[in-house]
Amino acid sequence: MAAILAVTEQRSNTLRKVSQEVVTAARSLADAMGATVDALVLGSGAVSGSGDLGGIGADRVLTGTHPEFNLYNPDGYASTIASMAGGYQAIIFAATATGRDLAPRVAARLGQGCATDVTAMSVEGGKIVVTRPIYAGKALQKLRLLGSPAILSIRPNTFAVKPSSKTGTAESISVPAFTARVTVKEIKAAAATTLDVAEASVVISGGRGLKEPANFKLLEDLAAAFGNAAVGASRAVVDAGWREHGAQVGQTGKTVSPGLYIAVGISGAIQHLAGMRTAKVIVAINKDKDAPIFKVADYGLVGDLFEILPRFTEEVKKLRSEH
Amino acid sequence: MKIAVCLKRVPDTTAKIVIAPDGKSIDESGIKFVPNPYDEFAIEEAIKLKETAGAGETVVIGLGSDATAETLRTALAMGIDRAILLQATGSPDGFEVAKALAAELKPGGYDLILFGKMAVDDYNHQVGPMVAELLDLPCITTVAHLTIANAGVHAEREIEGGIEIVTCALPAVLTCDKGLNNPRLPSLKGIMAAKKKPLETKPATLGGGSFELIGLSLPPERSAGKIVGEGVDAVATLVNLLRTEAKVL
Ligand SMILES: Cc1cc2nc3c(=O)[nH]c(=O)nc-3n(C[C@H](O)[C@H](O)[C@H](O)COP(=O)(O)OP(=O)(O)OC[C@H]3O[C@@H](n4cnc5c(N)ncnc54)[C@H](O)[C@@H]3O)c2cc1C
Ligand SMILES: Nc1ncnc2c1ncn2[C@@H]1O[C@H](COP(=O)(O)O)[C@@H](O)[C@H]1O
């Protein structure tokens, strides 16, 4: 029977949320092709969360354990996946920092191309057809994947996790001997609570309208009121050194597809729009009613952000405490 | 140190994208083409590393149409020593480009091969690590901070919610991210000098690839924006709409 391999991600032996999206995407493809789903978990010990993968569509959960897999190990991961690739119709990764590094390595080892950042998939005439944004989302490319296995990565926050009742049978696989040419020494974590803009379901971004770095506190307060929100930034403020590069949204920053995007004091330059136009709902707060950001905003609020934000935070808090 | 930089010619980031009548390519008329912004970080890093070492050679390689020569000249004007144009037509997929670049790079004896983390046109994020695999070299992607000492590479790369510290030995392949450096603008003197620098042209050999392009389309337009109101008094209306209409609260 045809099978699809869903490559999950863990950090500190805890499965990352995006892994569930990968398994969900694999499940929908498998259902369309009459295939089974194997979820692959690589770690240095038991990985918490892997027991839940049956509930979102994994027929088997294959675990490969190696002492050097506590952190990402590019050569070890690539060797393991390449060694087990035979027999799979498709191998699906997440288009994350790890997945974007790993998928092309595996593809090259298997002599295949790799379709990255896929936002939709279907099966036509037995072949996988994917849609992926190009030109920073200004166009969509539709590709039929001819390779076997087809190798692709899905954009985070795009495939909503769906419950399913598969067995998720746990099996262990052997990790082949490999030479680690690259070593991940450590992860310097940002504050443990910091969500990444590419993965958060609510993103609140600030621009030059915030006037000075300390005022980002207003956005952090609003993010805290939402609970599951990350704070992003325009390039203007990143270049000014107010915020980290990792927070930049746009053509030369991150592409985000959250459920809710709130742009505060951001004019809406084309390069910024490129990074956030696929958000499900867009809110803009700007004192200039002609700012281009209002053209893409589902809900626009014209006014001074310094007055609006504290009230906004207060209202959200109020609502949250009621529900 | 002998350093290679792979450079792609891409549409300017402000370009309006119009799909050509064939439905499979973009209408290039009126579009300004520029060096891929991430490749500028690679060019700057190569020039800086050579300047610091006080010796070595920097080479820029571009695969594409003959117009790519102009893009390569920009790299020469910034300070790269010489250029190689691998002539190709159409838009080959990432693995085909990687194979052609790897074939050119293999006999070159490079200590370091630099790429951008991605091309802003195809958004592939893949040619660098693929070339590394084909050449059996260590590879670190999306490098935002770099130290090279005693033939060793110490790099920082941004990951979700943190920074990964990664090391490897030279020779190596690196892909460059924003934050690595501030690319210089070509000086007038550089532009004049670039005209005399060597630019070698040869045909690339490309295979059929792993994909069939079905077509390009424009993304669905977002429905026209709506102004909820003005000033602090409209906040309550906004929050109410987010809860009842958009259902995101
Ligand atoms: C190659 C290239 C790549 C780029 N990539 C990116 C990218 O990835 N991401 C990105 O964001 N940009 C990118 N840019 C930059 C982009 O063109 C803009 O310069 C940038 O997005 C502007 O940032 P901003 O909106 O914060 O600032 P501005 O354009 O200065 O806008 C500030 C806004 O704040 C509003 N404002 C001011 N005070 C208040 C107040 N008190 N209350 C409410 N509103 C207020 C103003 O009305 C204005 O609209 C790129 C540019 C180039 C050339
Ligand atoms: N046609 C090309 N010619 C030269 N270098 C390229 C080409 N395509 C991609 N690259 C390099 O590979 C990097 C990643 O591109 P991509 O994988 O297409 O997103 C780019 O930043 C360039 O450094």
Query: What whole-number distance in Å separates Cα of residue A55 and Cα of residue A35?
Result: 17
Instruction: Name the burial class of residue B220, with classes exposed (0-12), middle (13-18) and buried (19+) by CB atoms within 10 angstroms of its CB.
Output: exposed
pLDDT in tens, B36-52: 999 999 999 999 999 99
pLDDT of residue A320: 87
Length of chain B: 249
pLDDT in tens, A22-59: 999 999 999 999 999 999 999 999 999 999 999 999 99
pLDDT in tens, A153-165: 999 999 999 999 9
pLDDT in tens, A294-313: 999 999 999 999 999 999 99
Tokens 């680690």 -> residue: A180
A280 and B CB contact within 8 Å: yes
Please report residues of B whose CB lies closer than 8 A to that of A100.
125-126, 141-142
* DSSP track, B44-86: HHHHHHHHHHT--EEEEEEEESTTHHHHHHHHHHHT-SEEEEE
* CA–CA–CA angle B190, B196, B198 (5° rounding): 110
pLDDT in tens, A162-200: 999 999 999 999 999 999 999 999 999 866 556 899 989
Query: What whole-number distance in Å separates Cα of residue A155 and Cα of residue A199?
Result: 9
pLDDT of residue A195: 83
Cβ–ligand 2 contact at B8 (below 6 Å): yes
Nearest CA in chain A to B116: A252
Nearest CA in chain A to B132: A105
pLDDT of residue B220: 87
Mutate to test the pocket of ligand 2, among B115, B120, B206, B211 (most ligand atoms within 8 A of CB): B115
Contact between A187 and B224 using a beta-carbon 8 Å cutoff: no
> CB atoms < 10 A from the CB of A318, how many?
12
Bridge partners for A198 per DSSP: none
Contact between B94 and A147 using a beta-carbon 8 Å cutoff: no
**CA gyration radius for chain A?**
21
Considering every ligand atom, which ligand is closest to the CA of B83? 2
Q: What percent of chain A has pLDDT over 70?
A: 98
Cβ–ligand 2 contact at B41 (below 6 Å): no
Distances (CA, A) of A165 to A16, A56, A61, A100, A307: 20, 7, 14, 29, 49
Token output for B120? 């802003």
Cβ–ligand 1 contact at A251 (below 6 Å): yes
Closest C-alpha among A309, A318, A224 to residue B240: A318
Token output for B42? 């690679």
Query: What whole-number distance in Å separates Cα of residue A255 and Cα of residue A248?
Result: 9
pLDDT in tens, B144-203: 999 999 999 999 999 998 899 999 999 999 999 999 999 999 999 999 999 999 999 999
Look at residue A287 and give its three-state secondary structure.
coil
pLDDT in tens, B74-131: 999 999 999 999 999 988 999 999 999 999 999 999 999 999 999 999 999 999 999 9
A241 and B CB contact within 8 Å: no
pLDDT of residue A322: 82
pTM recorded for the entire structure: 0.92
- Whether the per-residue pLDDT at A321 is higher than 90: the answer is no
> CB atoms < 10 A from the CB of B190, how many?
17
Considering every ligand atom, which ligand is closest to the CA of B97? 2
pLDDT of residue A193: 55
Half-sphere exposure in the Cβ direction for A145 (13 Å, CA): 28
Please report residues of B whose CB lies closer than 8 A to that of A19.
none
> CB atoms < 10 A from the CB of A221, how many?
17
A97, A143, A260: residue with CB nearest B157: A97
> CB atoms < 10 A from the CB of B106, how many?
13
pLDDT of residue A141: 97
Contact between B232 and A139 using a beta-carbon 8 Å cutoff: no
Instruction: Give me the sheet containing B139-149, strands edge to edge.
Output: A182-189, B162-169, B152-159, B139-149, B172-176, B112-116, B2-6, B57-64, B82-87, B199-203
- Whether the per-residue pLDDT at B59 is higher than 70: the answer is yes
Tokens 């499965």 -> residue: A15
pLDDT band at A89 (very low <50, low <70, confident <90, very high): very high
- Whether the per-residue pLDDT at A241 is higher than 60: the answer is yes
Residue closest by Cα to atom 1 of ligand 2: B63
Report how far apart the first and last C-alpha atoms of chain B are (Å, whole number).
Answer: 56
Nearest CA in chain B to A282: B225
Q: Are A26 and A37 in contact (CB under 8 A)?
A: yes
B36 and A CB contact within 8 Å: no
Half-sphere exposure in the Cβ direction for B44 (13 Å, CA): 21
pLDDT in tens, A5-18: 999 999 989 999 99
Q: What percent of chain A has pLDDT over 90?
A: 92
* DSSP track, A273-310: HHHHTT-SEEEEEES-TT-THHHH-SEEEES-HHHHHH
Residue closest by Cα to atom 7 of ligand 1: A250
Considering every ligand atom, which ligand is closest to the CA of A136? 1
Query: What whole-number distance in Å separates Cα of residue B249 and Cα of residue A225?
Result: 11
pLDDT of residue A22: 98
pLDDT of residue B225: 82
- Mutation target to probe the A interface, by most A beta carbons within 10 A, among B10, B96, B121, B123 is B123
Report CA(A270)–ligand 1 centroid distance (Å). Answer: 9
Considering every ligand atom, which ligand is closest to the CA of A276? 1
Relative to the CA of B126, which ligand 2 atom is closest?
A: 17
Contact between A108 and B159 using a beta-carbon 8 Å cutoff: no
Look at residue A315 and give its three-state secondary structure.
helix
- Whether the per-residue pLDDT at A149 is higher than 60: the answer is yes
pLDDT of residue A231: 97
Query: What whole-number distance in Å separates Cα of residue A56 and Cα of residue A21?
Result: 9
pLDDT of residue B161: 84
B93, B229, B243: residue with CB nearest A113: B93
Mean pLDDT of A206-225: 97
A92 and B CB contact within 8 Å: no
Please report residues of A whose CB lies closer than 8 A to that of B139.
74, 105, 181-182
pLDDT in tens, B12-33: 999 999 999 999 999 999 999 9
B57 and A CB contact within 8 Å: no
Q: Are B186 and B76 in contact (CB under 8 A)?
A: no
pLDDT of residue B103: 98
